[in-house]
Amino acid sequence: MKNNRRKIQPNEQLILHSEVDGICPLCPTVLIYQKNGNNQKGFEIAHIYPLNPLPKEIELLEDEERLSTDPDHGNNLICLCNPCHKRYDKDKTVKEYRELVKTKKAILKRKKEQSLWKKTNIQDEIFEIIDLLVSQDLDFEDNLDYNPKTIDKKTDSTITLLTKRKIHQNVQDHFFKIKEKFKNLDSLEPMTTEIISSQIKTHYLLLKQQGNNQKEIFDAMVEWLQKQTNQKNKDASEVIISYFVQNCEIF
């Protein structure tokens, strides 16, 4: 029995457009372009698994992962530019299918992570730490004697070498200044460090509960803190999350 294509409402199209950040996931085409001073739609909503698969597509994708039992469900929909949609629907390959499944799974995972944002807040005092980190007068630590094995023993193979180096450098440069700032905050408002540490730990545990690996958790923690504190640049968030990796609230 043939499935009828449902009408994708404008608000759902906007959501799907936002999911891919306005860029076709199969090529670098911007999905909304300007013509004669007006914005023009340059995308279509594609079914990752075909709505009405041809016999050869059923055979081709028989053993492949499906993101929904209903091909018209939002989990099986993705924005593509018009040419890529046309190419995908004609003689699709397993490689193309897997690429879109991987992209959509990453989108769904990120949305799941974002759903946690409203569950964990962060104390306003964290802004004083951010102000410390972005201060032009901040001096980096010289010859800091700290034990990098704390990080090395806690991290696994999902943490890339570049990320691990970033965490090490952030701790090397800022650990004791952040620790001293927390100490000062505690003297003004007791338990500040413990409360913020608990909030950081709670968000980490929620991400871990979702099955994220360490690299995914680190990146999600940075994004969460950046959004919670409304920073345009994520550098300060990376430093703060690195501090809590070394301080054992994370991993």
DSSP codes of every residue in the chain:
-PPPPPP--HHHHHHHHHHTTTB-TTS--BSEEEETTEEEE-EEEEESS-SS--HHHHHHTTTS--S-SSTTSGGGEEEEEHHHHHHHHSS--HHHHHHHHHHHHHHHHHHHHHTTGGG----TTHHHHHHHHH-TTPPPPSS----THHHHHH--TTS-HHHHHHHHHHHHHHHHHHHHHHHHHHHHSTTHHHHHHHHHHHHHHHHHHTT--HHHHHHHHHHHHHHHTT-S-SHHHHHHHHHHHHTTS--
Does residue 90 lie in a domain region? yes
Number of domains in the chain: 2
Domain boundary among 65, 87, 114: 114
- pLDDT grade, residue 64 (50/70/90)? very high
CA dist., res. 185 & res. 161, Å (int): 34
Q: Are 17 and 43 in contact (CB under 8 A)?
A: yes
102, 131: one domain: no
131, 233: one domain: yes
Q: Does the pLDDT value for residue 213 go beyond 90?
A: yes
Domain boundary among 80, 114, 148: 114
195, 128: one domain: yes
CA dist., res. 118 & res. 193, Å (int): 21
101, 212: one domain: no
Does residue 251 lie in a domain region? no
Find the domain containing 106 and state its range. Answer: 10-114
Residue range 20-38, pLDDT digits in tens: 999 999 998 999 988 888 8
Domain boundary among 69, 95, 114: 114
CA dist., res. 76 & res. 50, Å (int): 9
Does residue 1 lie in a domain region? no
Q: Does the pLDDT value for residue 149 go beyond 90?
A: no
- pLDDT grade, residue 145 (50/70/90)? low
User: 201 Cβ partners below 8 Å, 6+ apart?
Assistant: 249, 250
Does residue 85 lie in a domain region? yes
* Nearest in space to 25 (alpha carbons), one of 98, 94, 80, 87: 80
CA dist., res. 226 & res. 178, Å (int): 17
As a whole number, the mean pLDDT across the chain is: 90
Q: Does the pLDDT value for residue 179 go beyond 60?
A: yes
Does residue 163 lie in a domain region? yes
Does residue 4 lie in a domain region? no
Residue range 181-203, pLDDT digits in tens: 999 999 999 999 999 999 999 99
94, 154: one domain: no
Does residue 165 lie in a domain region? yes
23, 95: one domain: yes
108, 95: one domain: yes
207, 122: one domain: yes
231, 128: one domain: yes
Does residue 28 lie in a domain region? yes
16, 67: one domain: yes
222, 107: one domain: no
127, 155: one domain: yes
